[in-house]
Amino acid sequence: MRRNPYQRPDHKTVEAKKRGFPARSVYKLDEIDRRVRLLRQGQRVLDLGAAPGSWSMYVAPKIGGRGHLLAVDRNPLEISLPAWATFVQGDALSLTNEALSMFAPYDVVLSDMAPDTTGNRFTDQTRSFDLFMRALAVAEKLLAPGGTFVGKIFMGEDFPLARAEVKRLFTSERLIRPEGTRPVSYEIFVVGEGRKAALAPPPPAPVEAAPVVVPVAPASTAKVEAKAAKKAAPRKKSASQTKAPSPQDGQDGQEEAVRARRREVSTW
């Protein structure tokens, strides 16, 4: 039966055990920390998939008592944590927001989560991508502006999508494959630095006033009503009809009366 290469102890595993760390993964975080200057005193750190505890054990003294560490895993830790560190046992991606955000906003979100490998590379890569994206979604919600995300992923056909999402959320993105990574492994760490501030929601669209509809009578009805109104209105007299009588008018009338009288006399 072929042995799982991940279960073979190597010099890194032996060395980690001698230093009191439960797993060799501590050397990966140590290299990432040195390359990006990840951890500092007073930071708040969220460690997703913390068991067996090597990363949490490394982080705790780096951030000191002025900081706080929240470690989450469905499996128990094999280490003891200092007073400024808290462990919550449960599925890191199924816990309520209240449980994960008890010390938020965080300066750093770490995810060393990996799926239970099946030996089928495509299946393992797909599951790893899903874990990575869900951890990134947690970081998107809980990281402070300017914060850093470190997540492990198995490189596969979805890898470019993961990188694109990190670039969308952070001002810079880099890939780190630590020297402590086993040669047979296709894992890599994606580091997002400088969490972008959440964009303000767009202002609501202006509400347009409903148009005022003025009822208009049909053309035929309007014409009939206009004609009826015209007939009902009193007719105005013309200027000639309403002209006041002048003295000339009276004189002309008198002359006509005289001529008529003369005609009557001539007939007698």
Question: Per residue in 167-193, is it b (16+ CB within 10 Å) or e — as a string?
Answer: eebbeebeebebebbeeeebbbbbbbb
Contacts of 90 by beta carbon, 8 Å cutoff, 6+ apart: 72, 74, 99
Closest C-alpha among 80, 88, 51, 84 to residue 69: 84
Question: Per residue in 25-44, is it b (16+ CB within 10 Å) or e — as a string?
Answer: bbbbbbbbbeeeebbeeebb
Among 12, 152, 167, 231, which one carries the catalytic annotation? 152
CA torsion through residues 158, 160, 164, 170, sign: positive
Active site residue 243: no
Kindly list the catalytic residues.
Answer: 152
